[in-house]
Amino acid sequence: MVRLTAADVHPPLYYLILKFAMSVFGFFGISSHNLYAVRIVSIIPYAIIMIISYFKIRKDYGWLTAGLFMLSLGVMSQFFFYFLIARMYSWAILFMLVAFIYTKEIYTKGDLKYWMIVTIASVLSAYTHYFAGISAVCLFLILIYYVIFKNRSQIKNLCISIVAGVILYSYWLSTLFAQLGTIHHGFWVPRITVKSLIEDFGYYAYSNDLFFAVIAIIILIAIIYLYKKQLNEKYSVDNFYLLTGLGVYLGTIIFALIVSLVYKPVLLARYLIPAAAGLWLSISILINKIQDKKTMMYSFALVCLLLIVGTGYMINSNFTMYNEGMAKENLFNEIMQDENASLILARPNGIIYFLDYSDRVDTYCIRYTYVFDKTMNKLHQTFNFKDTSEKNISGLVINNTDRHFYLVNIMTWGDLNLSSQINKTTLLSDQGIEISRLTAKEPEINETVK
């Protein structure tokens, strides 16, 4: 499983957590393939963050900060979505938040135990998602700046923390370097554009909308300006801590932007979600610390505007996902009821997701050396399907006009090279999965013969 995780260009911790949870569920008689059990694993971090908010954030900053923070993690950007799906993002959010929350204890108390909490949480972040690891590196760069320029008495603890972090992550470093080679030779992340970069900066509040991203950036600048107006001193621990949350978010974007421009595109908006959680905690603390009531109400109103739009987006995206899911289910039900239907599964993840249908419909799979950890020969022992290749798809359709061919393709791998003699009609395109009807074109008749 760890080897497979490495091959899929991911760190292993989430999958180890999931495997452990599935074993526990299996021990109590719950099927290891139970979708609800898998989703429970993703929502556990949100429950832990709620507990931390009540016992730690509420205690340190009050109900307004704790409530605003938890609400923002429910409705802003894509937090709600990633607390529900079987992915590692919710765990990355949890680990990065723990690291960020206890960074304040380093600023105020400086005990070695708080350095160790931040170090372990940062390492766990890097073992969960690489962009959470980038955010952790940004956090430590800020800590290095803090120690050198603000509190040199902490140099010993800083050095212990860095050495401990490197040792704890050394197990995975060789795999990481190998994965960097894989990314360099081919990775599906699109090139960065001015539009996508602006959306990245505004991602803390919204996703995939240029106009609202600009509004979110302006609102964030306005809130910081309103807070800065009340400051009587240039530096305080509280102010530096708030800047840390902003610095980690911006630093993650800038770091990924440099890598994308120099090495290979790696920056996707959703990768910023662990850093965005820390930024929302900073915003929630900042709102509560504005002393002038009128200024505080202006700032709070701006944040509420973001929250209202975020709530609307969350509801809309939830209905969209539901409708897309039902459309996909209905389409497959129609295909299953068609006695002349033939299903063509392309790409390894397309095969692994949809191969269960092979027992109910005539199925062809493009032959790959491996489909995740299984050879095609091993898959043949379990499932009923025929092998084909990308270049043979057109011949299949042209030579079997009595069949109704449906192609399932994973679009993040790119489009398939089909013959010009084939008509492709897209029936459904849902989050990277494209289902199309393939038909042979009618032969063109020479005008003279006609």
Question: In the chain, what percentage of residues exceed pLDDT 90?
Answer: 37
> How far apart are the C-alpha atoms of 124 and 165, rounded to whole Å?
10
> How far apart are the C-alpha atoms of 376 and 52, rounded to whole Å?
47
> How far apart are the C-alpha atoms of 407 and 417, rounded to whole Å?
12
Task: Give the DSSP letter string of 400-425.
Answer: -TTSEEEEEEEGGG------TTEEEE
**Average pLDDT value for residue range 324-351:** 88
* Domain locations along the chain: 2-323, 338-440
Q: Is the pLDDT of residue 77 over 60?
A: yes
**Average pLDDT value for residue range 395-399:** 89
Contact 408, 385 (CB under 8 A): no
> How far apart are the C-alpha atoms of 228 and 234, rounded to whole Å?
9
- pLDDT the model gives residue 204: 87
**Average pLDDT value for residue range 194-218:** 83
- pLDDT the model gives residue 319: 85
Task: Give the DSSP letter string of 321-378.
Answer: HHHHHHHHHHHHHHHHH-TTEEEEE-SHHHHHHHGGGGGTSEEEEE--S-BTTB-HHH
274 pLDDT band (50/70/90 cuts)?
very high
**Average pLDDT value for residue range 36-54:** 90
Contact 123, 92 (CB under 8 A): no
Closest by CA position to 347, among listed 410, 429, 406: 410
> How far apart are the C-alpha atoms of 184 and 191, rounded to whole Å?
13
Q: Is the pLDDT of residue 58 over 70?
A: yes
Contact 267, 260 (CB under 8 A): yes
Which span out of 11-15, 303-307, 441-445 was modeled with the highest average pLDDT? 11-15
- pLDDT the model gives residue 109: 93
Question: In the chain, what percentage of residues exceed pLDDT 70?
Answer: 92
264 pLDDT band (50/70/90 cuts)?
confident
- pLDDT the model gives residue 106: 95
Q: What is the DSSP letter of 383?
A: S
Q: Is the pLDDT of residue 363 over 90?
A: yes
> How far apart are the C-alpha atoms of 135 and 115, rounded to whole Å?
16
Find how far residue 336's CA is from the centre of its chain: 33
> How far apart are the C-alpha atoms of 364 and 353, rounded to whole Å?
14
Q: What is the DSSP letter of 445?
A: P
**Average pLDDT value for residue range 219-224:** 86
- pLDDT the model gives residue 92: 95
Residue 311: C-alpha distances to residues 52, 94, 207, 210, 285 (Å): 23, 22, 13, 18, 21
> How far apart are the C-alpha atoms of 137 and 189, rounded to whole Å?
22
Q: 């539901």: which residue's tokens?
A: 322
Range of lowest pLDDT (92-101, 229-238, 362-371, 413-422): 229-238
> How far apart are the C-alpha atoms of 292 and 278, rounded to whole Å?
25
Q: Model confidence over 140-182: pLDDT tens digits? A: 999 999 999 999 999 999 999 999 999 999 988 888 877 776 6
Which span out of 60-64, 300-304, 442-446 was modeled with the highest average pLDDT? 60-64
- pLDDT the model gives residue 116: 97
56 pLDDT band (50/70/90 cuts)?
very high
